[in-house]
Structure 1
Amino acid sequence: MSLRIATFNIENLIARFDFTGFRNQLRSDRVLKLFEIKTEIGYQQLEAARVVATTDDTRQLSALAIADTDADILCLQEVDNMESLQAFEYGYLFRMAGAGYRQKYIIEGNDSRGIDVAVLMREQTRGGERIELVDIKSHAALTYRDLSLYHSGLGPNLQPDSKIFKRDCLELDLRIGGRPLTLYVLHLKSMSNGRDGADGRESTRPVREAEAKAVRHIIENRFGVDQVSEANFLICGDMNDYQERVDVIGERRLGYRFEPVGGLSSALDILSSDGFAENVMLRRPVLDRWTLYHARGPEEQHLCQLDYIWLSPALARANPTVAPDIIRNGQPFRTPFPPGQEIERYPRVGWDRPKASDHCPVAISLHVP
């Protein structure tokens, strides 16, 4: 019995307009900065027009990328609410993939922008096995005090009663053809730009470490520390961290070279240590594991894996040779691809935008024992 599951940070599937850029230049889109806009009402009208004009292409590309995962279960990050999810599934994904994702689940989490994690599921797998939801649980209310994870290194804005998860850890108990499977969907704390020259990844790492420790606690508490290795569970989502990267050196006119950098300390070490879970992306070649291109000019650019499907030890043993697929056809043309990885982009993909997302979907076909 085969189950195909995918994870995708769909990038701001939002049903609202954000007009804060009129007063905060950091929140203003770059195209509007080309024009002299004297009134807030004028700004709002132009911003709304910009969003509406660009969204259709973006969501067509997002739907194409999702359709190419061919997933039975789809884990999404950065979804506004159920209304936006239903509108996207009906108006875009249905046109690409047909009927199928009739089971939709989203619970409001802790993100200040209102972006949540969500799960879409077919009623049965491609092979005809029934997909059933037994239970769903949010862990958004967990605090540092609850799990004794508070320390001053988390930063001045966090207190013992602050919520651990910046979005949520959504837990779904499923049955796939009668076989139990537990799914954890995450979107960990972002690697915000560091202030005063600080490294954004390192300065936010303690928050992600606490989130990763909380995930381990939830899973170990659920199955028992001694039984974790026998349980069928998956941890999916945007982890906003990496244990390795590929440095991209050079520029478009002169060409690039790609240098892997491994052994990096990461909040994700908490999930990989002691064989707790396996990052099956490591079964792919080292230059071919990336799901995001990061660049701050020619002097700082790299490819890295931010999107993960972690397998429990039991699932890893049951699928010893299976590696995930990465859908990169929706990446913008500014993304440099290592030699041999060139793909055909979807129609209307631009240099920087439109694009399917800044992230690539990851999908894998698994045998559930």
Structure 2
Amino acid sequence: MRLASYNVENLFDRAKAMNLDTWEEGKPVLEKFAALNKLLGEITYTAAMKTKLAELMIDLGLEKSDTGPFVILRRNRGGLLKRPQAGGIEIVAQGRADWVGSLELRDEPINEHAMRNTARVLIDLKADVLGVVEAENRPVLAAFNAEIIRALDGMPFRHVMLIDGNDERGIDVGLMTREGFPIGPMRSHVDDRSENGEAIFSRDCPEYSITTPSGGHLIVMVNHLKSKGYGSKAASDAKRHAQAARMKAIYEEVIADGAENIAIIGDFNDTPDSEPLKPLLHDTDLKDIFTHPAFEDGGYPGTYGLCNAANKIDYILLSPSLYQRVERGGVFRTGMWPGSRPRRWDVFEELKRPEDAGSDHAAVWVDVNI
């Protein structure tokens, strides 16, 4: 069977703030969105909080309207704010209970060529079990599978599953499997909490139980760890370290329950030698498929951007039982922009510009005899 992991970077729609030309442009918007959302959720709004709420709303383009260039403030009932004729914003609510509504990121459609190249990757990858990172939700993933893959003469996956996670931007993790690889019992860790009460996982760390045509069983966990994109480096590193430590604990629990064939896959947003990933990569018996003698990296050690060593952030980790069953593995980069001076790898004929890339990430795959 072929197991693969691919960060699709959304399929139909993506938050506008994440679709800007550079991450540096979108980062302040996402940081202010997160800060405003957190403040809006407070039980009581102090005078200082109200000042900050108004400041953030103005920064996000909400001074004149509930619809800004990157966010939408939905006010269903109750009074949250007033907009004086002289300008500015006045927060009138005394706390979260005084109004009903939400703050949302605005979406915009994905480039059609990029969408089709994402589908081409899924078709040519020929995976039997595919972990998907950054899909909007299950209906979108199912529609992409049934409509776009079929439109390009590909064979849709038989099973599509995605458990809604903690990220408000619509970047969740899911699983797609072929006929003969049914998804059995599932367990979500979306509500796992740290000692301070915060959700550990930025999205989720779902456990999927899968049966193979030969009667073999394996458990696949898909994850997308905290990015380095916004927030301080210390906070981001601490978050990923906590996530890696929790994944280690989950893995050990699964092993203790008698399972042998376990794969942990996804975008971990850090390199193999990083301190945040140490609990998972160095303090367990899990093996990175990149270290297997039958694995071919295509001449480049990374999986993101131009695939240098510092861009090795996508993983397939296997338990010893699965690792010894590996027949071969590799990195699929045909849907990625190859650079221009020089071009680093061959791409789809339809990939003419960087924005036409199916993703900034390569897909990673492994063939396992199970």
TM-score by length of 2: 0.70
Q: Which amino acid aligns with 1:324?
A: G
Correspondence 1:41-190 to 2 at 5 A: 51-52=108-109, 55-96=111-152, 98-124=154-180, 131-145=181-195, 160-176=196-212, 177-190=214-227
**1:9 matched to which residue of 2?**
7
Deviations 1:272-317 (A, max 9, x none): 225520001123578533111269xxxxx86521111111011112
Q: Which amino acid aligns with 1:183?
A: V
Specify the SS of the correspondent of 2:118: helix
Specify the SS of the correspondent of 1:329: coil
- Determine whether 1:352 maps to 2:354: yes
> Is the Cα–Cα contact under 8 Å of residues 100 and 123 in structure 1 kept in the other structure?
no
**2:228 matched to which residue of 1?**
191
Correspondence 1:323-362 to 2 at 5 A: 323-334=328-339, 342-362=344-364
**2:74 matched to which residue of 1?**
none
> Is the Cα–Cα contact under 8 Å of residues 117 and 348 in structure 2 kept in the other structure?
yes
Specify the SS of the correspondent of 1:331: coil
CA distance in 2, matches of 1:276, 1:335: 40
Structure 1 pair 144–97 and aligned structure 2 pair: CA distance change class (3 A): farther
TM-score by length of 1: 0.70
2:242 pairs, out of 194, 210, 214, with: 210
Specify the SS of the correspondent of 2:324: helix
**1:304 matched to which residue of 2?**
311
Q: Note the aligned Cα RMSD (angstroms).
A: 3.5
Structure 1 pair 141–20 and aligned structure 2 pair: CA distance change class (3 A): same
Specify the SS of the correspondent of 2:269: coil
Structure 1 pair 21–315 and aligned structure 2 pair: CA distance change class (3 A): closer
Correspondence 1:151-300 to 2 at 5 A: 160-176=196-212, 177-193=214-230, 200=233, 203-224=235-256, 231-243=260-272, 264-283=273-292, 284=295, 288-293=300-305
Deviations 1:81-107 (A, max 9, x none): 122112211222223453341211011
CA distance in 2, matches of 1:14, 1:209: 31
CA distance in 2, matches of 1:271, 1:78: 22
Specify the SS of the correspondent of 2:211: strand
Give the Å deviation of 1:193. Answer: 4.8
Give the Å deviation of 1:345. Answer: 1.4
Structure 1 pair 232–43 and aligned structure 2 pair: CA distance change class (3 A): closer
> Is the Cα–Cα contact under 8 Å of residues 159 and 182 in structure 2 kept in the other structure?
no
> Is the Cα–Cα contact under 8 Å of residues 59 and 88 in structure 1 kept in the other structure?
no
CA distance in 2, matches of 1:16, 1:334: 23
Unaligned runs of 5+ in 1: 29-38, 45-49, 125-130, 146-159, 244-263, 296-300
CA distance in 2, matches of 1:179, 1:333: 38
Structure 1 pair 4–25 and aligned structure 2 pair: CA distance change class (3 A): closer
Determine what percentage of the aligned residue pairs are the same residue.
26
Deviations 1:55-110 (A, max 9, x none): 21111110111112110111101111122112211222223453341211011111
Structure 1 pair 43–265 and aligned structure 2 pair: CA distance change class (3 A): closer
- Determine whether 1:315 maps to 2:322: yes
